[in-house]
Structure 1
Amino acid sequence: MEPNLPIPDNYFSSYEDLEIHRLMLEDEPRTSTYRKAILNNKEYFKDKVVMDVGCGTGILSIFCAQAGAKKVYAVEASNLANLAKEIIKENKYENIIEVIHSKVEDVLLPSNIKVDAIVSEWMGFYLLHEGMLDSVVFARDKFLKEDGEMFPQNAVIYVAPCSVPNLYEKWEEFHGVTMSTFSKHLRSDKSHKPEIMQIRSVDLLGEEVALNWINLRDCTVEELDSYCVQHVVGANKNGRYQGICIWFECIFPELSSEERVILNTGPIAEPTHWKQTVILLPDEQRVEEKEPIAFKLDMNRDGKNSRRYNLQLTLLDPEEIEHPVPCCCDMTKCILINAVMKQQVKHAMDQRQIVNDSVLEEEPIDDE
């Protein structure tokens, strides 16, 4: 199956909808994480030149000015640039923040100056939906100093098997009527496109695996075209395997603060407007604890719309693919490998203890 999410033809004008920005601004983990990542690094931002790619309402640019930046170029392609100017003036930063109403690809800075840092909130569903990272990479290559910083600096997409009880269990007894047939057709229908929804941490059926790790300091647009992961994980409990859950993390640089700042959009984190992306199976599978769940997930940029990605999930036979080492599933080969590894660890610890005891016994005794 190749589900994808629609991208509006009027991509930039769609961001003029204030409801979208209200949703993003009121996303507490999103806004507070960016604020923390910037203001925690005041020593770094002091007297720096910054570019905010896709500034929207301008709030990240204002954070940079509050952190001491001497100049901020706030780039916004949509007509929201006019509102950003008003908000920046309202906060009395118009002498520091310059709003540029343009696509970043068309921007020319005075005297071709380079910036010290690029700040951007470019993430879409499952991280790459909408393809805005391409513009951030373009801005980095054209405007960022060689030793400049990216906020965020790294991003990771995670994948894990899951149950989706809030979609299906209600139909088993609905107002006194059994609707299992409806539920079956609903599953089939929803398996053709990803579902954006909030998954509870208790509904994850196994440890997550990283689909990719993106270093924004040196990644290329071409590298963003395609990702693939093949994985086997032992189920962490008895349950209904109903889909694959996808989420992401963004990691910010630690420059003048020792505290690592991470924006986590996973099921174990505080909910965000990104929620999680779930690829639903057309037929659920009942799994027992430690039973191996094997799958392959491909994420490929759409050939016709570069802002869209196609997600393809393939269910695999755990007997036929290589398992990670160590593996938590209950297949005989994995149990044996884990047992051998435990014996090796125990032997190494015993040998270390013998050496330590020997050293203690050989220490000279001072009779004085």
Structure 2
Amino acid sequence: MFFLCVNLPFLVFQEMLKDVVRTKTYQNVIYRNKFLFQNKVVLDVGAGTGILSLFCAKAGAAHVYANYLIVTVVTVLKGKIEEIELPVAKVDIIISEWMGYFLLFENMLNTVLYARDKWLVDDRVVLPDEASLYLTAIEDAEYKDDKIEFWNNVYGFDMSCIKKQAMMEPLVDTVDQKQIVTNCHLLKTMDISKMVPGDASFTTPFKLITVRDDYIHAFVAYFNVSFTKCHKLMGFSTGPRSRATHWKQTVLYLEDVLTICEGETIIGSMTVAPNKKNPRDVDIMVKYSLSGRRCVVSRVQFYKMR
């Protein structure tokens, strides 16, 4: 196995390791599917603490290249994947936790795709091999008032000019499932074994159907991850109805407060693209409209994940 380290604060590493959903899912995928790993050469992209590398070694991988560990089947290999050379021509498996907040913020997807095209054998076993991005909507009056409307009166001063900037910054936080007021819509599914780097930029339509009379203050995005090469389909969700992960959910506050009645439909589209100056950042554009009994609105909003 080849181990590629990323430099992050130790508290970040600890947070990821304590994310039981994330860590136990990878552990179960590896230990319950040892047929994928036994006597195989595996490339761990962005390995951090090396926990995935250790799981693979214990599952019977032929060799491990890691930058913090030197044991029987582990060797040091450190550097950017685009700059290093592996001591073998091909690897059998690529494993990575490449996902970022909102799936694509500060992600390592392009690094995984680079490694896949350069070193992976033709049958292309990438773990995980599928990721799906979803959208829903929530009532969130209390938090929006605290985060956004706060700028209307700051100790007696009108700082509302800051509101627009605050509105453009998505909030990464854990959403209470009781706040959800629409269905969940699948925005995008990525097949990591087949996609190319440009596929991380996309425009996709969505339709959200309200499930009760209420208000909408924000859209919420989250993602699911799947390991389809296992004996049995495995994976996890970062959605608000699932056990919390360190990715949490991404909240996109709306300039409007939408007054909704049960069964009404919000239609729109979302455009996602890496920022041109910093590809690890994400630019998001959301178009949405509602023609309801109590509310009629049509708007375009822009968000920047920095």
Q: TM-score, normalised by structure 1?
A: 0.71
Would you say 1:272 and 2:248 are equivalent positions? no
1:123-134 equivalence runs, <5 A: 123-134=99-110
1:143 to 100, 119, 128: 119
1:277-356 equivalence runs, <5 A: 277-317=250-290
The residue that corresponds to 1:107 in the other structure is 84
Task: Report if the CA contact (8 A) 2:5-2:46 is conserved.
Answer: no
The residue that corresponds to 1:196 in the other structure is 172
Alignment CA distance shift 1:281-1:147 (3 Å): same
Matched residue type, 1:69 = A
Structure whose CA Rg is larger: 1
Distance 1:25 1:213 in 2: 26
Instruction: Give 1:295 deviation, angstroms.
Output: 2.4
Instruction: Give 1:50 deviation, angstroms.
Output: 0.4
Task: Report if the CA contact (8 A) 1:279-1:313 is conserved.
Answer: no
Distance 1:240 1:102 in 2: 49
**Secondary structure, counterpart of 1:101 in structure 2:** coil
Structure 2: stretches of 5+ with no match in the other structure: 294-306
Matched residue type, 1:309 = V
Instruction: Give 1:21 deviation, angstroms.
Output: 0.6
Task: Report if the CA contact (8 A) 1:52-1:72 is conserved.
Answer: no
Distance 1:180 1:57 in 2: 41
The structure whose residues are more often strand, as a share, is 2
The residue that corresponds to 1:261 in the other structure is 234
Alignment CA distance shift 1:166-1:33 (3 Å): farther
**Secondary structure, counterpart of 1:316 in structure 2:** strand
Matched residue type, 1:149 = V
Matched residue type, 2:204 = V
Alignment CA distance shift 1:239-1:137 (3 Å): same
The structure whose residues are more often helix, as a share, is 1
Distance 2:120 2:259 in 1: 51
**Secondary structure, counterpart of 1:60 in structure 2:** helix
Q: Deviations over 1:33-91 (max 9, x none)?
A: 111111111122111110101111110000001111111334xxxxxx4xxx2xx34xx
The residue that corresponds to 1:246 in the other structure is 221
Q: Deviations over 1:204-263 (max 9, x none)?
A: 221111221111111101222x122222222011111111100111101333x32x2112
Distance 1:59 1:96 in 2: 14
**Secondary structure, counterpart of 2:263 in structure 1:** coil
The residue that corresponds to 2:61 in the other structure is 69
In angstroms, what is the RMSD of aligned CA positions? Answer: 2.7
Alignment CA distance shift 1:63-1:57 (3 Å): same
Alignment CA distance shift 1:132-1:49 (3 Å): same
The residue that corresponds to 2:297 in the other structure is none
Matched residue type, 2:113 = V
**Secondary structure, counterpart of 1:15 in structure 2:** coil
Matched residue type, 1:23 = E
Distance 1:16 1:246 in 2: 25
Structure 1 stretch displaced more, 146-155 or 162-171: 162-171
Instruction: Give 1:109 deviation, angstroms.
Output: 1.6
The residue that corresponds to 2:27 in the other structure is 35
Instruction: Give 1:127 deviation, angstroms.
Output: 0.5
Alignment CA distance shift 1:168-1:301 (3 Å): closer
Instruction: Give 1:95 deviation, angstroms.
Output: 2.4
Distance 1:59 1:302 in 2: 31
Distance 1:115 1:14 in 2: 20
1:53-68 equivalence runs, <5 A: 53-68=45-60
Distance 2:108 2:242 in 1: 24
2:130 to 154, 176, 183: 154
Task: Report if the CA contact (8 A) 1:230-1:296 is conserved.
Answer: yes
Matched residue type, 2:120 = L
Task: Report if the CA contact (8 A) 2:238-2:244 is conserved.
Answer: yes
Matched residue type, 1:48 = K
Distance 1:213 1:243 in 2: 22
1:150-189 equivalence runs, <5 A: 150-168=126-144
Structure 1: stretches of 5+ with no match in the other structure: 1-11, 75-80, 172-178, 320-328, 330-368
Matched residue type, 2:100 = G
Matched residue type, 2:262 = E
Would you say 1:227 and 2:202 are equivalent positions? yes
Distance 1:13 1:154 in 2: 23
Alignment CA distance shift 1:142-1:282 (3 Å): same
